[in-house]
Amino acid sequence: MASAILKRVSASAKSTLVESMRSRASSRAFAAVAIGTDIVSAAPNVSLQKARSWDEGVSSKFSTTPLKDIFEGKKVVIFGLPGAYTGVCSQQHVPSYKNKIDEFKAKGIDSVICVSVNDPYTLNGWAEKLEAKDAIQFFGDFDGRFHKSLELDKDLSVALLGPRSQRWSAYVVDGTVKALNIEEAPSDFKVTGADVILNQI
């Protein structure tokens, strides 16, 4: 009798676990960024931090920029990368956009944005080092909430970076994703460069 009851309880628990896993998988698939996603709605109450010096941060009272101010009513090319001062990001990813900025403008793009899970002060120093601030707007996602909301977050502890982001790019019109590219690995640079997204606009 006790054995039969345990079997029934075990079966019930197993069924509940399976349903829970299905529900989570369904929820994650629904929440993940994709073509057609409204970025502002997918990341509610999330703001980014425009790259700036510490003194500029203090004078602005550490202000942040709501996503709607970045995307609504605009044509935006945005690309995310694992981190400032890292290899592929510095040597290939940012330069590919910096060198093609005139082509983006010719296609009617209002802004080209680089976003990374970094504080805005680190990003500012890096952007200045790359001499890219005049061409590209840099925004920090200091706590990773933006990338987590879009399910573009990535644990890069193996490279001593901790929680970071995938390497990705998107063409966004009035907040809606029209084209999206995500590398298989953050160290790859095959589908997220400027040339690829230029052909998708």
Among 89, 114, 136, 170, the active-site one is 89
The pLDDT value recorded for residue 37 is 92
Rounded Cα gap, residues 35 and 2, in angstroms? 53
**89: annotated active-site residue:** yes
Rounded Cα gap, residues 151 and 117, in angstroms? 13
C-alpha 31, offset from chain centre: 14
Nearest Cα neighbor of 156 from 50, 81, 49, 46 is 81
Rounded Cα gap, residues 127 and 130, in angstroms? 5
Task: Report the alpha-carbon angle 140-145-149, nearest 5.
Answer: 125
End-to-end CA, the chain: 67
> Strands, E, within the chain: which ranges?
47-50, 65-66, 75-81, 111-116, 137-140, 153-155, 163-165, 168-173, 176-182
Under 8 Å between Cβ of 119 and 52: no
Rounded Cα gap, residues 108 and 199, in angstroms? 13
User: Is 18 strand, coil or helix?
Assistant: helix
The pLDDT value recorded for residue 179 is 96
The pLDDT value recorded for residue 28 is 35
> What is the value of pTM for the model shown?
0.80
Measured between alpha carbons, how far is residue 52 from residues 116, 159, 192 in Å? Answer: 14, 26, 25
Sheet of 137-140, strands arranged across? 65-66, 47-50, 137-140, 111-116, 75-81, 168-173, 176-182
Under 8 Å between Cβ of 97 and 111: no
Mean pLDDT by 10 residues, the chain (201 residues): 43 38 34 84 91 91 92 97 90 95 97 96 95 96 91 73 83 96 90 96 95
Residue-range domains of the chain with CATH: 37-199 (3.40.30.10)
